[in-house]
Amino acid sequence: MAIPEKQIYPRTGDNQTVYLKNVISDPNIMVGDYTMYNDFVNDPVLFEKSNVLYHYPVNHDHLVIGRFCSIACGAKFLFNSANHRMSSLSTYPFPLFFEEWGLDMKNVADSWDNKGDIVIGNDVWIGYEAVILAGVTIGDGAVIGSRALVTKDVAPYTIVGGIPANPIRKRFSEGTIKTLLELKWWDWPKERITQNITAIQSGAIEKLV
């Protein structure tokens, strides 16, 4: 069972935490059920404007976030228009100012390198003021440290931190990670998750039913 379509605030009296899916209007941003965003500085309802940056329709790029993710205050997702073209002799975005330079308006996107979508798996924890760059995929169960700058893909159930972000350690043994990726508990019906909450919280993978 999914969260109610219009439920924005999951906690009574807490207007700093939202179910992110229910505050998104941009069709190029897709968020799974139960993923939450907390912001104690700005209105979390304004996530699209405050946290998803350089995300312009001309690029057709996407932000995809899975289910049960936890996104901390100030996390940012920087898209392709922030990437000035590096193959050019100049990083100046001449095509963006097509009128000044007599260029074709349809080539505006040639101003920057298009590195692709940002894809966040399920049950990912993104720490305070972390920054995720365009083209990055973060695997299920990963943890992104506070103020990390994520410039490359993160493997499932891996903790990363730093500038640029590098692996710190795996959260579990390879065997446990393999089992979790096979179980995909985040796709279970709400009733089954509820039945297994004690086992999930205690780390008792052998007790999942």
Q: Which of 124, 204, 202, 117 is nearest to 158 (CA)?
A: 124
Q: Which of 134, 133, 86 is nearest to 110 (CA)?
A: 86
Q: Which amino acid belongs to residue 68? A: F
Active site residue 84: yes
d(CA 37, CA 47): 8
Structure tokens belonging to residue 48: 């699209």
Distances (CA, A) of 173 to 2, 26, 93, 178, 179: 30, 38, 46, 9, 10
Separation of alpha carbons 85 and 64, rounded Å: 24
Marked catalytic residue, from 55, 60, 62, 84: 84
Distance CA 7, CA 162 (A): 35
Please identify every residue annotated as catalytic.
84
